[in-house]
Each structure stands twice: as C-alpha cells, then as structure tokens.
Chain A
Amino acid sequence: MELRRIEESIFKALMILSLVIVVGSLLAVIGIILWKGLPVLDIDMLTKTAQGGYYLGKGGGILNAIIGSLYLTFGGTVLAFFLSIGIAFYLQKEYSGGTRLSNITRLSLDILWGTPSIVYGAFGFTVLMYFHMRASLLAGIIVLALLELPIMTRAMEEVIKTVPIELKEVSYSLGATRLETTLRVVSKQALPGLMTGVLIAFGRGIGDAASILFTAGYTDRIPTSLFDATASLPLAIFFQLGTPLPQVQQKAYASAVILLLVILAISITTRILSKKYTKYIIK
C-alpha cells in the first residue's frame, strides 16, 4: 500500500516537472525576447524600410520584412488551404473509402511533415535554377505552401474525422449528396478545428527561414509584384543577429517581438472570427 502511494507521488512529481519545463521554457523565451527587444523597439522599426547601412547600425526599420513576411505567409497559407481542404475532405470515408490511395496519401503527408524546411528550400532553388528564374515572392509563396500543406491537411483531417457519423447520416437521410453534406454540414461542424489547422500552419509558415532563404531572396524594398524578391522577418532576425554590431543584434530581438506580435494578432483575430460560428456546433 505504502509503495503504491510513493509510486503515485513520484509520477505526479514527474508530470508537474514536465509541465514546469514546458511553461517555463515558453516564459523564458518570451521573457528574454521582451527584455532584450522592447528597449530598442521604436516606431521607425515598424514604419521604415531598411535604409542603406541599416545592418551596419544606421537608421531605418524592417517594414520591408514585416510586409514581406505577411505577403509570403498569407499567400502560402491561402494556396495551401485550397489544396489541404480538398485533400482533407477527400480522405473522408465516403470518398476514399479507406482505400490504399488514402493510406498512401496519409503516409506521404507524414513524410512531408517530417521533411526539414531547408530541404524544401533547396528543392525550390533547384527548380528555380532549372527555369532560369530568380528568387521571388511567388517562389517563396509556393515553397511555403508546400511546407504548410502537410501540417494543415493532417490537422484538418483529424478534425473532420471527429464529425459524428450520425450527423452525416442525418444529411444523407434527407437526400443530400456527398458534396452537399461535406460543404453544408461537415465543414460547419468542423469549422473551428479547420481554422485551428490553418492557424497552426500559418504560425509554422511565418516563422520559417530556411525554406525561403533561397527562394524568396532578401531585399531592402517592399515587393511590388509577385516576381520581385522579398524580405521576411525570420531572415531579418537572422541577418541582424549575424552582424558583429551589438546595437544591430539588439534590433534582432526587437524584430522577434514584432514576429511574436504578428502571430498573436492573427491568432486572436481567428479566434474571434471562429467564435461567431461555433455557437451552432453540435456537441
């Protein structure tokens, strides 16, 4: 009896320890970024593009990287969304019927998910070279979409799987087709989950540096067409940290604060939007 109680407390302690490590790391990351970044964060960083010599400690900001990152990630996420939602719906039993094709699709997605993003970058670069093209916003968007696709699809598929079969039965029994059932019932019920899937993928996309390193390039200007090269926040952080000048390195932390704020803003907006639709969900 005594031994069992000791076991119980040891495991409880271990679980609390893991919790502390997780929450602690998160707080530490945010804390360090804020502590180092906030003091140097000024309005110029948000409103000005990088002037010549910015990376040598001269004036200017990283507006080019903020806008560039938003363009890249929105583009990539929208592209990935249209592909993902199709795949995720198709993986439903009524369409793919748990066939070999659906298993192969799932396996491929899992492998793609595990693929390091630098590999996507290298792949994109090779394709660009083949077509004799330069790094551009479009190429960055496509590579980011590839990077986000498996994450989004798998997240969506899991959510769609949780839609109760009875709900589908109701729709079918009223004479609805598979498409009507999917678009009008399944997607409504799964909506908050689908949004979460998009959000997770968006977060992954906006934070990724390696995949766009070769494909989107880097520039001090805000891109005006899909074929312009573009800057991005993760690469801005990378380049600022890479300089030997402490005052520029500090600006990297300020950029990290901006990146965090962008993700936070997107996340909150999505949550508010999805609230509006979740009230109809059947529990």
Chain B
Amino acid sequence: MSETQIEIDNVNAYYIGNHALKNISVRIPKKQITAIIGPSGCGKSTLLKCMNRLIDLTDGITYSGKILIDNEDVFDRKTDIVNIRKKMGLLAQKPIPLPMSIYDNIAYGPKIHGLSKKPDLDAIVEKYLKLVGLWEEVKDRLNSPASQLSIGQQQRLCLARGLAVEPEIILCDEPTSALDPVSSQHIEQQLLKLKKDYTIVIVTHNIHQAMRLADYVVHLYLGELVEHGPANEVFENPKEERTRAYINGTFFADFKVDSELNLKGNACPFNFVYAKQALHTMEEGKILKVIVDDPLAVTEVPRGMEADGHKILNVKQINKTDWQIVIQK
C-alpha cells in the first residue's frame, strides 16, 4: 500500500446519544481517490466532517479518537484547526458559492491567507478556473455574481475555490448528487485528473460512481467500518457479506432473465429508447437484462426505466467496460 495521508484511529462520534461512528480506524492513502460508501445515515458525512472538524458546527455532537494529518491530531484542541482546514478543500453536496462575484469566490481563500496583490490574485483566479475548465465560460464576466452560473458551473467554481488555497487533500461530500449527468461526469473527470497531485476522499452513496473513481474503498454501515481495502479487491471480491449485498444492490435476489439486449456501442438516448422498446414487447413481470458500455447509461437507463414504472433489480459492472442492468417490467 502507498503512503498514508490521513490516519484515522479509533474515532467515535456521538450525536445526541446516538453512536454515529463506532471505533473507526482506517488509513487514507496519499494521492489516490478513496471512496467512503454506504447507505444514507451510515456516518459517511460525519466521518468526512471529522477530518476537517467542521463537525464542530453541528449541535450536540461529541467525538473522540485521533485523526492524524501530517502528524498533527485534528481532534487535539491545541492544533491550529484553521491551518489544518487550509490543507483540505471541501466540495459539498450542493454547490455553495459565496455571496460574491465569480472572481472573489476564487480569490477569497488566497486573500484570507495573506495574498493581496492584484496581479497575483488575477493569476490564481485564471489558473484555477482553467484547471476546472471554467475559464473560457466565465472569463468575460468575472465580476458578475457567482449565483448566476448554472448549477454545474457553480460546482466547478466551488472545486476551483477549494483548490485555490493549495490544499493537499480534497474532501468531497456526494459532490454530484445535485448535478445533472453531464455536469456529474465533468466533475468526475476533474477528480480523476486531480488525483495525481491531491489526495481525494469522496463520500458517495452512488456505488457506480465509487467504482468509476475509487482506488481505495471504505464501506460504512450504521456507523461501523464494515470493510476497507483497494477498490478492485473490495468490488470484485468483498470479504464481508454486507459489502457484497450493498455493492450488488438490495435487490440481490435470484432472478431469471427472460430476455437479453446488448446495447454496447450505443450513445445515451438510443440505448434508452431500445431498452424501452424491448420492455414494451414483454409481458408484465418478465425480466430484461441490458448490457451497456456508455458510462452515462449506467445511471440514466435505470433512472429512466424507474420513471416509467419498471423495477430495477440490479446494476453491476461485469468487466472493465461493460455494465449489466436488470429490469423487471
């Protein structure tokens, strides 16, 4: 295993008497993407917020244990938390621009850390907007309010803003859950690009996203650390039954496939339409297996089919490029 960036040691958190994190110990590897997966309310976000102690803003929370970043204990009251937070960029669930212009959103961090010369700030703003691929879209309106950007642009702005304080770590709390598929893909690509320079921790309840991004996986369930390890091991051969069940979806029941449809090589709207047509010819209750290789289809086909009233039984990666989606009419 590679070098450790964040060492989490025996962390416990209690939220108004509720044991939200139970004895979590795990080492987050440097310059890799670590995905924290698990169902809603399992403590994923709590663990993430412990790492930069934003958890302090939550009412009625107590915690214990140790989180070491560069040999400094985040939980130690003597640690300069402002300095620790500077090392970590945060990408929240919903993009939250600051109530300022696009320019000032990026410049805010560098400014509070003592940079005040206009040319330096200009250079930083340009550099990081370019890094997230937003520069071309906004260079003519840097002084307009950040809230006027589209939600996908806002999330990239937030990423750039976090990077502008030159952190070592990027913490992402379900960063794509409020975005449309195209914007989500954009963010995912950014993260993959960034991992050569940054340690990335991403909380996600989207198992497919975790599969696409993660090098290392941490599975939490009801505040317990169920399993952790390199992504390919955990996804292909989970040691724990609970992890296996979670990865395969809750509907991991026996099912008999009545019909199969290979949609490899089709772009998104088409595999959608073909799947729909195939279901149309089938009887109620019959099961269709669809194979796709377009990353968009992996999330969009199930979503669309569910919207049409069909039941998604299983979504699973079957090899490097292909995914199977099992749908019951």
* A185–B98 alpha-carbon span in the complex (Å): 7
Q: Are A166 and B96 in contact (CB under 8 A)?
A: yes
CB distance from A223 to the nearest CB of B (A): 41
Q: Which residues of A contact B88 (CB under 8 A)?
A: 173
Q: Are B57 and A93 in contact (CB under 8 A)?
A: yes
**Identity of the chain B residue whose Cβ is nearest the Cβ of A168 in the assembled complex:** B57
- The count of residues in chain B whose C-beta lies closer than 8 Å to any C-beta of chain A is 31
Using a CB-CB cutoff of 8 Å, which residues 82-111 of chain B contact chain A? Answer: 82-83, 85-86, 88-90, 92, 94, 96-101, 108-109
Q: Are B92 and A169 in contact (CB under 8 A)?
A: yes
* A279–B146 alpha-carbon span in the complex (Å): 10
Query: Mostly helix, strand, loop or mixed at chain B's interface?
Result: mixed
Query: Mostly helix, strand, loop or mixed at chain A's interface?
Result: helix
* A177–B81 alpha-carbon span in the complex (Å): 9
Q: Are A176 and B112 in contact (CB under 8 A)?
A: yes
Q: Are B113 and A173 in contact (CB under 8 A)?
A: no
**Identity of the chain A residue whose Cβ is nearest the Cβ of B90 in the assembled complex:** A173
- A170 contacts partner chain B, Cβ-Cβ < 8 Å: yes
Interface size class of A (residues with CB under 8 A): 20 to 34
Q: Are B54 and A180 in contact (CB under 8 A)?
A: no
Number of A-B residue pairs with CB-CB distance less than 8 Å in the complex they form = 87
- A244 contacts partner chain B, Cβ-Cβ < 8 Å: no
- Identify which of B52, B83, B147 contacts A173 (C-beta below 8 A): B52
Q: Which residues of B contact A174 (CB under 8 A)?
A: 85-86, 89-90, 108-109, 112, 161-162, 165
- Identify which of A98, A167, A173 contacts B162 (C-beta below 8 A): A173
- B39 contacts partner chain A, Cβ-Cβ < 8 Å: no
**Identity of the chain B residue whose Cβ is nearest the Cβ of A171 in the assembled complex:** B98
* A93–B52 alpha-carbon span in the complex (Å): 18
Q: Are B92 and A175 in contact (CB under 8 A)?
A: no
* A173–B201 alpha-carbon span in the complex (Å): 14
- A188 contacts partner chain B, Cβ-Cβ < 8 Å: yes
* A189–B98 alpha-carbon span in the complex (Å): 8
Q: Are A282 and B94 in contact (CB under 8 A)?
A: no
CB distance from A180 to the nearest CB of B (A): 5
* 24 pairs, A vs B, C-beta closer than 8 Å: A93-B59, A166-B96, A167-B99, A168-B57, A169-B54, A169-B92, A170-B98, A170-B158, A170-B161, A171-B98, A171-B108, A173-B52, A173-B89, A173-B90, A173-B171, A174-B108, A174-B109, A175-B82, A175-B86, A175-B113, A177-B112, A280-B100, A280-B101, A280-B145
For the complex with contacts A180-B112, A282-B147, 13 further pairs of A-B residues with Cβ separation under 8 Å are: A93-B57, A166-B96, A169-B54, A169-B90, A170-B90, A171-B98, A171-B108, A176-B112, A177-B82, A184-B108, A280-B147, A282-B96, A283-B147
Chain B residues with a Cβ under 8 A of chain A: 52, 54, 57, 59, 82-83, 85-86, 88-90, 92, 94, 96-101, 108-109, 112-113, 145-147, 158, 161-162, 165, 171
Chain A residues with a Cβ under 8 A of chain B: 93-94, 98, 164-177, 180, 184-185, 188-189, 279-283
